[in-house]
Amino acid sequence: MIEAVIGLEVHIELGTKTKMFCRCENRFGAKANTLTCPVCLGLPGALPRPNLEAVERVVRLALAVGAEVAPVLEFDRKHYFYPDLPKGYQISQSRTVLARGGAIQVGLRQIGLHHLHLEEDAGKLAHLGGRASVDLNRAGVPLVEIVSLPEMRSGAEARAFLEEIRLLAEHLAVAEVRMEEGVLRADLNVSVRQVGDPRLNPRTEVKNMNSFRALERAVAYEVARQSQALERGESLAQETRGWDDQAGQTYPQRRKETADDYRYLPEPDLPSYPVSAAWVADIASCLPPGPADLRQRFFAHGLSAETVAVILESRARSQLFEQTAALGADPVVVGQWIVGDLARVERESGESLADRAYAAADLADLIQRVATGSLAGPGAKRALELSYRDRRSVSAVVAEEGLSAISDEGALDPLIDQVLAAHPGAVQDLLAGQEKALGFLLGQLMRKSRSVDPKVAAKRIRERAQACNTGF
Ligand SMILES: [Zn+2]
């Protein structure tokens, strides 16, 4: 029996305001080469200064996964030549990494981490109309690299590990992970061996995987390819391969460089900085809850696995859920509103919950009104939409738009009588026992007023129809 041995090197672009070693803005989508300066262009004589906010974000992540933070911050140069790397080297960490060890829980298994280190990103090449051009806006953007131990055994597990890292980055405010912008990328290391054999065969590295699905497929392809090679008695070589998403295949790129090829040397332009235990303890004392803690708390509230997954996707949703439940609303109902109508309103309005900062007090108010029957059905949905979109409180929207459920017979009867008078045929059908007619009349009533409480209205339509009939 053959088993897969999988390790990941995950890169996340940190969501800092500025770059790692200069004060250029760290922002995606700007015009090419507008966010640059002598430092990130690698001009002679320009000196780097480290970004403390980037260090703090990596320390947060390290603490959350139980890694040990080093007492010093040191940088090294990693040399390689590539057109998107103007200095000819990348400032990274090699002698001392920022944190060692730790683990991430994936399903029932703990996947160990080798270390986390800090480095700068390279620029980006674009190939347009037969010409290659370079955009250095990304050069110098801070990156954390999370290196796992080779402890994963399947593509599904590797995918789950990467998804958990995305959630960690989200909940610890390390980065806003938009996959399409390449904020999260993983290098996949995969080899195969006979089950029970402690030795590792040479591994393949597949670089720059930037989708969960592609990662899972690349593992499956490599495991099959390497297993077949072993069965044919071929020896495997350590190599770097690329991923062709359309073909669903990896292809050879180059024999893997070794650390010696990079000629690491201590970064001479940056001193060694102490990382004080008191500072790390400060960060630990206000560490936000990670996805594993939140998941447990949400399950304890009785939410379904699907609901938990949707709420956990965003820190803003998770906070809104907990704050609304803390105000006394039924957690299961809060969960239903967040994954149902609120997620829809987020999509339709084009403004994410993180940007909108919708108040828990409003969601709790809405849920309370529905529970007591003063808001119902479409009126409640409308109140959520309008309060979200127009930044008004639920109470203001309900009052100003007249959304209160009409369950009072005195208010309902005139509306019902108008509907009955306009549709005498349907009234006759209803009196003859055709239940379909009730749905029709209720629909007509809802067109007159969206805020009718449907339960009370249905009962009242029967009664009024009966009364009209005897009145004739
Ligand atoms: Zn710069």
> pLDDT digits over 336-394, tens only?
999 999 999 999 999 999 898 899 999 999 999 888 878 877 888 999 999 999 999 99
| Short-list 341, 330, 397, CA closest to 364 | 330
187: number of Cβ within 10 Å: 17
> Do 391 and 306 fall into the same domain?
yes
For residues 457 and 416, the answer to whether their CB atoms sit within 8 Å is yes
Q: Which of residues 279, 309, 335 is at a domain's end?
A: 279
The rounded Å distance from CA 96 to ligand 1 centre is 25
Average pLDDT in the 204-210 region?
92
For position 471, what pLDDT does the model report? Answer: 53
> Do 214 and 78 fall into the same domain?
yes
The rounded Å distance from CA 373 to ligand 1 centre is 58
> Do 172 and 214 fall into the same domain?
yes
Say if residue 161's pLDDT is above 90.
Answer: yes
Query: What residues make up the domain containing 465?
Result: 409-471
The rounded Å distance from CA 27 to ligand 1 centre is 12
> Do 317 and 466 fall into the same domain?
no
For residues 458 and 446, the answer to whether their CB atoms sit within 8 Å is no
Considering the domain boundaries, does residue 57 fall inside one?
Answer: yes
Tens digits of residue pLDDT in 101-138: 999 999 899 999 999 999 999 999 988 888 999 999 99
Average pLDDT value over all residues in the chain: 92
User: Whole-angstrom Cα distance, residue 165 to residue 315?
Assistant: 14
Tens digits of residue pLDDT in 169-200: 999 999 998 888 889 999 999 999 989 888 88
The rounded Å distance from CA 21 to ligand 1 centre is 7
The rounded Å distance from CA 28 to ligand 1 centre is 14
Tens digits of residue pLDDT in 59-101: 999 999 999 999 999 999 999 999 999 999 999 999 999 999 9
The rounded Å distance from CA 267 to ligand 1 centre is 18
For position 472, what pLDDT does the model report? Answer: 46
- The CA distances from residue 418 to 134, 427, 457, in Å, are 70, 12, 13
In this prediction, residue 143 has a pLDDT band, given cuts at 50, 70 and 90, of: very high
**Residue type at position 425:** G
> Do 251 and 355 fall into the same domain?
no
Say if residue 467's pLDDT is above 70.
Answer: yes
> Do 302 and 413 fall into the same domain?
no
Tens digits of residue pLDDT in 392-427: 999 998 888 877 776 666 778 888 888 898 998 999
Considering the domain boundaries, does residue 284 fall inside one?
Answer: no
For position 259, what pLDDT does the model report? Answer: 64
> Do 170 and 238 fall into the same domain?
yes
User: Whole-angstrom Cα distance, residue 196 to residue 201?
Assistant: 13
> Do 218 and 321 fall into the same domain?
no
Helix axes 155-171, 212-231, angle to 10 degrees: 150
Tens digits of residue pLDDT in 210-266: 899 999 999 999 999 999 998 898 888 889 999 999 999 999 987 766 667 889 999
The rounded Å distance from CA 26 to ligand 1 centre is 9
Say if residue 457's pLDDT is above 90.
Answer: no
Q: Which of residues 214, 246, 279 is at a domain's end?
A: 279
In this prediction, residue 466 has a pLDDT band, given cuts at 50, 70 and 90, of: confident
Tens digits of residue pLDDT in 273-320: 999 999 999 999 999 999 999 999 999 999 999 999 999 999 999 999
The rounded Å distance from CA 300 to ligand 1 centre is 47
> Do 150 and 7 fall into the same domain?
yes
The rounded Å distance from CA 40 to ligand 1 centre is 4
> Do 355 and 227 fall into the same domain?
no
Q: Which of residues 348, 374, 401 is at a domain's end?
A: 401
> Do 379 and 441 fall into the same domain?
no
Q: How many domains does the chain have?
A: 3
